[in-house]
Amino acid sequence: MSKKIEIAELSSWPIENIDRPLIIGGPCSAETEEQVLETARGIKAAGIPIFRAGIWKPRTRPNSFEGIGAQGLIWLQKVKAETGMLTATEVANAKHVELALGAGVDILWIGARTTVNPFAVQEIADALRGHDIPVLVKNPINPDLELWIGAIERLSAVGLTKLAAIHRGFSTYQKLKYRNDPQWQIPIEMKRRLPNLPMFCDPSHITGDRAYLEEVTQKSMDLNYEGLIIESHCKPEEAWSDAKQQLTPKSLEELLANLVLRDPEADNEVINNTLGELRHLIDDFDQKLLELLENRMQVAKTIGHYKKENNITVLQNKRWGQILEKSLENGKKKGFSEQFINNLFKAIHQESINQQEDIMNS
Ligand code: PEP
Ligand code: MN
């Protein structure tokens, strides 16, 4: 069985006066020395203690910008010397670890595409043996909690204790509102399994769009996350990677100032937190229900067009009878009353009919 995972408190990280949330800010990628330094000055002015920049970038397609490579590490050293901020970057193999440690990078993270690969995580863990550096582990791109925990275990097994998790959402084939589906229940379950593991939210990679950063960041604060990692660029529109989701350091400062930080030490702490988490799960499911209904309606509309072209009536009684019968049967197995299933499916069916009729008569 797995050994106990020892997790050090955030207060043991080499940062003075840690506030909640602990914030990591900076560009998706280090591009040029000027861009790194200009962005870093803004991040420092926003009161953020840790500066991030990707040096090696895992990109979905080749021939995208795959990171500036080791020369960017020198720019991070300049950031540290000039601003006093700690620096953080992503490592995906032993060579990255060696170079980053050699350059004095203070904090490392393992990217979502690396967490999925136990060979890569083990290689990184082996390269980190004997070093006492904070390492954050992003969730794997697929919604697999065990894989995420497994990566933490591999790092723990080589003696690292300054560990934390980053929730950056999960890849989906279907296009949802956000770039990556947050599936909040997974980090919540992670927290239940490893209560001392600090949880950071990465609203940039969850949303993929700066328009939604604020709502996701607030939600993570309502769920008591300990930290945030947010992408920020001095000229977001011109960023060489993830341009749509980055915001200027000034806008980031505003976003952070607008956050409502509820006190996790409130009177009925346990009750409040539990209720809050459960309600967020409900909100999450409600949103998914609507998204599913939207997708279902899209298919109904396609059928509407098809019926129109082929001169078929909107309603086929036999087909509707089958849908209802099957749903009643399935619903019963899931413990739902007949009345509920009747009401639910009649409402859905009626809306499909209305939308198909609009198509027929347009
Ligand atoms: C990143 O943080 O820039 C990054 C590549 O993120 P992820 O691993 O979450 O895709
Ligand atoms: Mn990015």
Closest CA to ligand 1's atom 6: 111
Nearest listed ligand to the Cα of residue 111: 1
Nearest listed ligand to the Cα of residue 244: 2
HEC sequence for 24-81:
EEECCECCCHHHHHHHHHHHHHCCCCEEECECCCCCCCCCCCCCCCCHHHHHHHHHHH
Closest CA to ligand 1's atom 8: 111
Residues lining ligand 1, Cβ inside 6 A: 28, 54, 58, 90, 111-113, 138, 168, 205
Taking the centre of ligand 1 as the mean of its atom positions, its distance from the CA of residue 109, in whole angstroms, is 9
pLDDT in tens, the chain (362 residues): 457 899 999 999 999 889 899 999 999 999 999 999 999 999 999 999 999 999 999 988 898 999 999 999 999 999 999 999 999 999 999 999 999 999 999 999 999 999 999 999 999 999 999 999 999 999 999 999 999 999 999 999 999 999 999 999 999 988 889 999 999 999 999 999 999 999 999 999 999 999 999 999 999 999 999 999 999 999 999 999 999 999 999 999 999 999 999 876 567 778 878 888 899 999 999 999 999 999 999 999 999 898 889 988 877 788 889 999 999 999 999 999 898 999 899 999 999 998 988 988 88
CB < 8 Å & 24+ apart, contacts of 292-296: 293/348, 295/174, 296/348, 296/352
Instruction: State pTM to two decimals.
Output: 0.78
